[in-house]
Structure 1
Amino acid sequence: MDKDAFEKGLKTRREVLGSEYVDNSIQNAGEFNMPMQELVTQYAWNEIWNRPGLDRRSRSMINLAMLTALNRPHELKLHLKGAINNGLTKDEIREILMQTAIYCGVPAAIDSFRCAKEVFAEMGI
């Protein structure tokens, strides 16, 4: 593991997903899944999220669409919070999810709208 890349990724991961969630993920990682936490933090959150070329808002938009397509509600909820943290509005998120209905299927989009409604309620927005 590249300690510097991990620390940079950890900083970005905390800024997008929130320190509480990220710190819990790291603290609750055992011997079995800590290598996965290290991989995701170093590569996804440093090597990809910290690349120039796309801002965090754009990366969040892409993630919402991809996670809808992949039907990953747990990750979608995390990235909905991250999208809000990255400056997306409810209206923008609605438009992203509307577009997924056409390209990913209506059932996938309906599930994502359900997830978004839960996240918005949790966040008080």
Structure 2
Amino acid sequence: MNREMYEKGLGIRRATLGDAYVDKALSQVDDFTRDLQELVTTYCWGEVWGREGLDRKTRSTINLAMISALNRPHELAAHVRGAINNGLSLDEIKEILLQVGIYCGVPAMVDSFRIAKEVLREINAK
């Protein structure tokens, strides 16, 4: 593992998803999942999210669309929080999910709206 890229990725991951989310994920690491967490943090967050080609807001936009299209509700909830942290407005999130409905199907859009609404309710309750 490239320790420098891991630390870079960990910083980006924390800034996007929040300390509580990352701390929970890392606290559950065991011998089976250690390599997974290191790979995700180093390559996903460090190598890709850490590139200069796109800003974090744009990367969050792309992630919301792709994760909604792939119907990955757990990841979508995390990335709705991340999108807010990376500067997306509620209207921008809504527009992304509407676009998903047109190109990926209404069920994907409906599920994505439901998950996003739950996350936004939790954020506003704090």
Q: TM-score, normalised by structure 1?
A: 0.98
Partner of 2:73: 73
Runs of 4+ in 1 over 3 A off after TM superposition: none
Q: Does 1:20 align with 2:20?
A: yes
The amino acid across from 2:14 in the alignment is R
Q: List gaps (5 residues or longer) in structure 2.
A: none
The amino acid across from 1:70 in the alignment is L
Partner of 2:98: 98
Structure-1 separation of matches of 2:36 and 2:4: 17
Structure-2 separation of matches of 1:63 and 1:20: 20
Partner of 1:49: 49
Residue 24 of structure 1: how far off its partner (Å): 1.5
Structure-1 separation of matches of 2:5 and 2:23: 17
Q: TM-score, normalised by structure 2?
A: 0.97
RMSD: 0.8
Structure-2 separation of matches of 1:88 and 1:64: 11
SS in 1 for 2:64: helix
Residue by residue over 1:61-112, the C-alpha shift from the partner in whole angstroms, topping out at 9 and shown as x without a partner, is 0000000110000000000000000010110000000000011100000000
Partner of 2:114: 114
